[in-house]
Amino acid sequence: MTKTNETATVETTVPPPESDGRGKPPVVTAAGPRPIEEHAKKAGIDTATLAAVMQSEKWAVGKSVPKTEFKAAVGKFLGASMGGE
């Protein structure tokens, strides 16, 4: 990206999102956020339920969240009434 103003031109390079800024993929720790699909697989959540939870939480494919947040979202969805009340 190039930005120009009256005094200078600045070139900036943004690393790809899958990079840590040094060209290497980010390191995921066991205690850190994990992709929601990984949480669902480990918890035995079927794809339809996962899709509904994702829609309810406005989560995109590949979103990483802590396990506690994922479990809370699934619990909230499964405990909700069909009428939304």
State residue 20's pLDDT score. 52
- The better pLDDT of the pair 6, 46 is held by 46
With a CB cutoff of 8 Å and minimum separation 6, the contacts of 85 are: none
Q: How far apart, in whole angstroms, are the C-alpha atoms of residue 83 and residue 32? A: 35
Contact at 8 Å (CB) between 54 and 36? yes
In a domain, 10, yes or no: yes
Q: Which domain holds residue 56?
A: 2-79
State residue 80's pLDDT score. 83
In a domain, 85, yes or no: no
Reply yes or no on whether the pLDDT at 18 is more than 60: no
Contact at 8 Å (CB) between 77 and 56? yes
Burial of 64 (0-12, 13-18, 19+ CB in 10 A): middle
Total domains present in the chain: 1
Reply yes or no on whether the pLDDT at 38 is more than 80: yes
In a domain, 84, yes or no: no
State residue 35's pLDDT score. 95
The mean of the pLDDT values for the chain is: 79
Reply yes or no on whether the pLDDT at 46 is more than 90: yes
* Element (DSSP H or E) covering residue 54: helix 47-57
pTM value?
0.60
In a domain, 43, yes or no: yes
In a domain, 72, yes or no: yes
Quote the DSSP letter at residue 16. -
